Structure 1
């Protein structure tokens, strides 16, 4: 039916588990499903319509002066999603990037507010600010850390076993900051 010019409308929030049970994809699942279906169908563009906002330079609830961002690269959009921008699910970008599908994020409240996500553009600069919540800093004193190979791997392994996601890492000669 797509070949005959029909436009498929898919809920996207629901799917089937490997066992065949109906399951929800969670927050952002509709965006991910739309990007994946668009990539499978060979679409040139996928429109993601949001109830309140498109992609802004910061969360308008935290930063009243936040502005809509007209264009982002796939990488920029993925970084924003990974680090706290709730407007897109982080996995949404991958199928679009893999097949070169342009994503257009628009506001349901104001159709003129649009963010286009596509291949990298020149003139890179900081475009947005995100905030991860909750986030904690762990500082470990590791005397002689540079002479002890595997310390970072041991700490990372233990955090992973405790289901703690490591967001960023900094090391010095005696400190390990996570």
Structure 2
């Protein structure tokens, strides 16, 4: 027997997980979905008002076919730089790298960060409070809900991580990077 009120799938889910909610009428269900959609849209628009970084115009861009990228990069670097994946927390040796040096993009060897810009965010990923100006470009990552601000290398367009506004002063920025997409060169 098909229950009335809220859509059948939602009633099945609530019954399967063993909790009971008051059945929603179709009107309440539609209002809830409209509210959720407005929330997601509002989060997306709020991200648009934040400072966006664009790359320097004088950097020569490189473009390769997917097969060339696959042969140039190891599996993890390819998945992060070209497919936008994220490495597991605490999986990178660069998270605990504190020597002086520079961090380069593994896809094109463009310097992105200096070791003096790094800080311990306790997040499990290498984090920086600044970047080399003009070498990174921010964009809105629509694959997450709510959408997030992500950043990529200007030269090769490889995804490196997300820009989160919970870093130290004065910028408040945390450039949360995937260590598998970076190459560290000590000075």
Structure 1 and Structure 2 fold alike (TM over 0.5)? no
Structure ID, larger Rg:
2
Give the helix-richer structure, 1 or 2.
Answer: 2
- Higher relative contact order (Cα pairs below 8 Å, separated by 6+ residues): 2
Superposition TM-score, scaled by structure 1 size? 0.22
Superposition TM-score, scaled by structure 2 size? 0.21
